Amino acid sequence: MGTDTLHSGAKLPKGYRKWPRTAAGCEHGAMTLLQPPLALLLDVDGPLASPVTRRVSPDIIANLIELVRRGIPVVFNTGRSDAFIAEQLMAPMLEAGLPDGAVVHAICEKGAVWFSFTQDGPGTIHVDRELAMPAAYGDDVRTLVASSYAGHMFFDETKRAMVSVEQHVEVDSASYLAEQAKFDADALALLAAHDLGAVRLEHRAPGSAGTVDYRVDPSIISTDIESVRLGKDLGASRAVELLAAQGIVPQAWRTVGDSRTDYAMADWLHHQDHVVKHVDVRPAEGVPAKPYPVKTAADLQLGDDVVNDFAGAAFLQFWLDGLAK
């Protein structure tokens, strides 16, 4: 069936290598620590990819690889598609040289899609079809964008479960945000036309069955239309499962994000009794009270102007420095 079976009974896709069960077995490749001191669960847009260029800097790629080489699990948890992660993170990491035996997990589309990669490339792309938007709705949004919004935004053809529309890089933020408000209203009207109950921020519009199964989720550069069951908390649960299938149980987690919704990673981990600290790389809205520590660039003695991927890079370096001690 194209799967390898680990002795835990967990199945891994074809192409995955079995690796030594202890760090002692790895002399030349990545250490596989079964109880690593840290595991990283990283939102991509903001902490790693610049919200301006949408690209990941070579310094961040190098530090991610070094963390992997030290045996620190690195898991991406993003609303982006697997194609975006393959292009912006996997390809440069493979080009820079992923260590022998290392596995990096990517949870995409807020938990609906996931895959893992090694130095040999990506494994199977998994899609939870139950969490996908109806195709007819996606077709209508594609047509809407082409007819009314193509100057400011584009339909993301790489999504497998979500319907996402994103700002053109060359459009300035203020004019995008003004158009986005109109697009979101149209997207909600289309949901109603398909009798799909939906919510956008505080606004709830149940379908005829009285249920709200879908969400319109605006960010500063895009709008996602998705199942309400998707979220960074679902991504966190998949991350724990993917590591457990390798026999890896981290002693502590660090979650990193730039949005309020990213706190759901740490909320879920904390609720499941994992030790977690959350890093907010864009705390412009303030830091909410949480039952776990929340860190910002100020905790690294950096100024308020160090945000997004600059703050993300600083924290990756901070954790690497901590491992060196």
- Footprint on residues 78-107 left by Mg ion (CB under 5 A): none
Among the residue ranges 64-72, 122-130, 162-170, 257-265, the one whose residues contact Mg ion (CB under 5 A): 257-265
Q: Which residues contact 28 (CB under 8 A, 6 or more apart)?
A: 100
Give the Å distances, CA to CA, from 34 to 15, 177, 234.
21, 45, 23
- What's the min distance (Å) between Cβ of 183 and Mg ion? 19
Contact between 309 and Mg ion per CB under 5 A: no
Name which position in 16, 45, 117, 160 contacts Mg ion (CB under 5 A). 45
Q: Is 166 in the site for Mg ion (CB under 5 A)?
A: no
Binding segment (CB under 5 A) for Mg ion, from list 9-17, 25-33, 37-45, 236-244: 37-45
Cα–Cα distance measured from residue 307 to residue 258, given in angstroms and rounded to the nearest whole number: 9
Residues 6+ apart with CB under 8 A from 29: 99, 100, 101, 102
The nearer residue to Mg ion, 46 or 235, going by C-beta atoms, is 46
3-state secondary structure of 42: strand
CB under 5 A: which stretch of 104-112, 147-155, 191-199, 251-259 binds Mg ion? 251-259
Q: Is 43 in the site for Mg ion (CB under 5 A)?
A: yes
Number of residues that this document lists for the chain: 325
The Cα 96–Cα 85 span in angstroms is 15
Q: How many CB atoms lie within 10 A of CB 5?
A: 11
Provide the Cα torsion 293, 23, 317, 255; round to 10°: -30
Q: How far is the CB of 262 from Mg ion (least distance, A)?
A: 6
Quick one: which of 258, 267, 280, 309 contacts Mg ion (CB under 5 A)?
A: 258
Q: Which is nearer to Mg ion, 46 or 123 (CB)?
A: 46
Among all residues, whose Cβ is closest to Mg ion? 46
Smallest separation (angstroms) from Mg ion to the CB of 270: 20
Task: Give the C-alpha separation, 228 to 215, whole Å.
Answer: 5
Residues lying near Mg ion in the complex (CB under 5 A): 43, 45-46, 258
